[in-house]
Amino acid sequence: MNPKKRSILARSVLPLFLCLCAGVSFAQDIPWADSAEEVGMSTERLKRINAVMQRHIEAGTIQGAVTAVARRGKLVHFETHGLMSVPNNRPMQDDSLFIMMSSTKPVLGVAAMMLIEEGLIRPTDPISKWIPEFAEMQVAVLRDPVDENISPTRIDPRNLPAHRLVPAAREITVHDILTHTSGLASGGLGSVISAASIGGLDNRESLAKNVPEYGNVVLDFQPGSRWQYSAATALDVIARIIEIESGIPFDEFVKERIFEPLGMNNTFWNVPEEYQGRLIEVVGADTAPPGRAVLYDTSHSTYFSGSYGLKSTAGDYLRFEQMLVNGGELFGNRLLSPRTVRMMSSNQTKDLFSSNREGQGFGYTVATSENPIVANQRRTQGAFGWGGALGTRSWSDPEEELTAVIMIQQPVPEVQGDFENAVQQAIID
């Protein structure tokens, strides 16, 4: 085994040393298996991951990637591919930082499950319990037929249909938000109607200031009646509730309760100046982060979103996934009980999600494999995970005791699928 690959944080010795000197405890590394065969995987077949990544790099599909796989608590694959900076011809690094986008959401999910486990919040609790502005919301429906409150799934903002507003049949709950069944800011008619009134919130200052304003948003459908993804708003409501219940800012809560116990020393909303050089320089006008865009802010955000905003490394996120596949524990630090992890990763939406993605269900911030064959997935039933708009993706497979992470910064589902297939092919017992 190449010595530099013996630790997933092999190039992060100095930050770890500084943490120790400051009196902050950090977790040990995920150990390497002596061989892939030791944990029921094939050394030769794992090489297919490298071949897949190289093929996509040569085709120009992606500029580079970091891939990682662990089984039965031991690393079997951790590789860098291609370039982190095309203009400067800089090779990808083990500790390259990626803009995680919606890969932030499962972190919010774990934070929420902590408070659910502690009895501080309940899935059935209405959001108005903490934020009164959400007490009386309205739903956008078509004007005709009047006797059927129909909310269109997608609409053309340039050609709004005749519509009216009706009262929400019930209040939005914690469960609704965590499962994307609330109707809040999910891209439908209500979202378009509300865009002008909340457009000024794009330059976000804090959760405390802006989340109450979301109570003025018109809902896209009746709460609990549909699954429709809220990319950048709804989960921030839960982040604010966590702040209220914990008494500390959301970013501090996550750092103290999740990042530090897991040794995720390379995961940030605001990347320290000395780490900015480790951020991927994305090539391509369609995916390159605009310099001042809130969604991609890397250094000075004051709005710590539960929906997006994290930057992380493959090694750090593998730790997070390993904790989940272990049933909520890693390195002797228990974040959640196994029962709570099962609750988080179980289908909580019945058939609402499968109507969008056949063969899958949706838990609390993560999708779960109900029928991998129907879903065209290379996973085991019960595997769960999520990804980000710029290409990051990961999953945990409790039955196979497997975790896998792919970090890319071009949103190419084909690459993610090929990686998933190569990982599954490498399992030999």
pLDDT over 60 at 202, yes or no: no
- At residue 256, the pLDDT reads 98
pLDDT over 50 at 285, yes or no: no
Task: Determine whether 67 is exposed, middle or buried from the number of CB atoms within 10 Å of its CB (0-12, 13-18, 19+).
Answer: buried
pLDDT over 80 at 293, yes or no: no
Lowest mean pLDDT among 289-293, 330-334, 409-413: 289-293
Task: Tell which residue, 151, 155, 152, has the closest CA to residue 169.
Answer: 151
* 145: preceding bond cis by omega (within 30 degrees): yes
Alpha-carbon span 44 to 422, nearest angstrom? 11
What residues are paired with 421 via a beta bridge?
Answer: none
pLDDT band, very low/low/confident/very high, at 35 (cuts 50, 70, 90): very high
Mean pLDDT of the 369-380 span: 86
Q: Domain 3-95+249-425 is in which class?
A: alpha beta
How many other CB atoms are found less than 10 A from the CB of residue 384?
A: 28
Tell me the residue type at 189.
L
pLDDT over 50 at 139, yes or no: yes
pTM beyond cutoff 0.85: yes
Task: Tell which residue, 15, 98, 99, 25, has the closest CA to residue 274.
Answer: 15
Cβ–Cβ < 8 Å for 369, 347: no
pLDDT over 60 at 255, yes or no: yes
List pLDDT tens digits, range 36-45.
999 999 999 9
Alpha-carbon span 404 to 416, nearest angstrom? 11
Structure-block tokens of residue 339: 């029962």
Q: Which of 144-148, 220-224, 352-356, 370-374 is most confident?
A: 220-224
- At residue 297, the pLDDT reads 81
User: How many residues are there in the chain?
Assistant: 429
Residues of the chain with CATH 3.40.710.10: 3-95+249-425
Lowest mean pLDDT among 125-134, 187-196, 219-228: 187-196
pLDDT band, very low/low/confident/very high, at 274 (cuts 50, 70, 90): very high
pLDDT over 50 at 353, yes or no: yes
